[in-house]
Amino acid sequence: MEPLVLGIETSCDETAIGIVRGRTLLANEIASSVDEHARFGGVVPEIAARAHLEAMLPSIERAVKTANISLRDIDAVAVTAGPGLIGALLVGVASASGLAQGLGRPLYGVNHLASHISVDYLTHSDPLEPVIALLVSGGHSSLLQVDDITGSITKLGATMDDAAGEAFDKIARIMGVGFPGGPAIDALAKTGSATAIDFPRGLTTSNDWQTRPFDFSFSGLKTAVARYLESTPDYVRGDVAASFQEAVVDVLLLKALAACKQTGINSLVIAGGVAANSRLRHLAEQRCEKVGIQLRIPAPALCTDNGAMVAALGSLLVSAGRAPAANAFDADSSLPVTSINLR
């Protein structure tokens, strides 16, 4: 019998509840507080935590109703234990702990980053491991080698400053096109030319490829765009957006495909909020097909933070016979990706 798992995700500004049976998604409810943060140009941790408190029970109730189950039917509860905003994480961990104890069910404290990769298993049944995972979001840009999603993830590289999604947000703020910046820049880029402005590609010099081949840096790009906007009063917004977006996407894929080549792994998963970017998806398909790399990218709705990904990882952990948390555990805002399942 495939395990029925409820997943809770509260690492940032989405209160998300997912329910899966094995690899079948039954419910994926999301209550976002993004509108409450928009006027600040970014997520305010205290506001996010309060929003989670208000949305938690209604979101669980909606998910259970959508899945057409009873809470008593659940075999296990999974929750994001980190990384993320500590106040937001604590709401999720406390809620999941109470639910698991009340139902007498095992509790899994899972890694947010590993969960993003795990969501792929809800749409593909064939084995994928080992795989290179390009994880790109507002807070994280990482290249990972996944040999076993339930027990073995190796960090190959990560951002040294701004994450890709953070860079999108900052440039969108400078240009005054709204928050969150990813969708706004993506839409605006469709009106411009990706080759109009030659913005820099961070960490791609010959020395960088020798010393930091799989790390990312977007702070220099962000500065270059800001200076261009200051020095070019009559700039074309669409061209700036498209050229900036192209610089980000180009570097992400250069590094990801280089990791595939060096490790000899011919499968690539792209996950995280930035994986919903239309240019990244299109260019990834082109470049992967050209070099014979199998590409998987979740549907856009499953790229951003969601409960389905947490439930998916929980289901995989149960099926693999991994031990649940023995006792109560604390949320960890800087949980390393190599800590997949807290015990």
pLDDT at 308: 97
Q: What pLDDT is stored for residue 177 in this prediction?
A: 93
Fold classification of 4-119+303-342 (topology level): Nucleotidyltransferase; domain 5 (3.30.420)
From start to end of the chain, where are the E strands?
4-9, 14-21, 24-32, 76-82, 107-111, 131-136, 141-148, 152-158, 267-271, 294-296, 341-342
Quick one: 128-297 is in which CATH superfamily?
Answer: ATPase, nucleotide binding domain (3.30.420.40)
pTM: 0.94
For 132, other C-beta atoms within 10 Å of its C-beta total 26
pLDDT value, residue 129: 83
Question: And the tokens for 82?
Answer: 């980190």
Q: Burial, 232: exposed, middle or buried (Cβ in 10 Å; 0-12, 13-18, 19+)?
A: exposed
Residue that has been written with the tokens 């080698």 in this structure: 145
How far are the Cα atoms of 248, 293, 300 from residue 287, in angstroms, in the given order? Answer: 15, 8, 20
Give pLDDT, residue 88. Answer: 96
Q: How many CA atoms lie within 13 A of 95 on its CB side?
A: 28
> Taking a C-beta distance cutoff of 8 angstroms, is the pair 192, 238 a contact?
yes
Determine the pLDDT at residue 109: 97
122's enclosing H/E stretch is none
Distance CA(301)–CA(68), nearest Å, equals 21
Angstrom distance (rounded) from CA 140 to CA 153:
16
Helix, strand and coil in the chain, % to nearest 5 = 45, 20, 35
pLDDT in tens, the chain (343 residues): 899 999 999 998 899 999 999 999 999 999 987 667 667 777 787 888 899 999 999 999 999 999 999 999 999 999 999 999 999 999 999 999 999 999 999 999 999 999 999 999 898 877 778 999 999 987 889 999 999 999 999 999 999 998 999 999 999 999 999 888 999 999 999 999 999 999 999 999 999 999 999 999 999 999 999 999 999 999 999 999 999 999 999 999 999 999 999 999 999 999 999 999 999 999 999 999 999 999 999 999 999 999 999 999 999 999 999 999 987 789 999 999 999 998 8
Distance from C-alpha of 286 to C-alpha of 80, rounded to nearest angstrom: 33
Same fold, 4-119+303-342 and 128-297: yes
b/e code 300-318 from CB counts within 10 Å (16+ = b):
eebbbbbbbbbbbbbbbbb
Helix (H) or strand (E) holding 151: none
Return the structure tokens found at 255: 């590094």
Q: How confident is the model at residue 320, as a pLDDT?
A: 95
Domain boundaries, the chain: 4-119+303-342, 128-297
Helical (H) or strand (E) element with 292 = none
Can you name the residues that pair with 152 across neighbouring β-strands? Answer: 148
Structural tokens at position 161: 């400053």
Residue 319's pLDDT is: 94
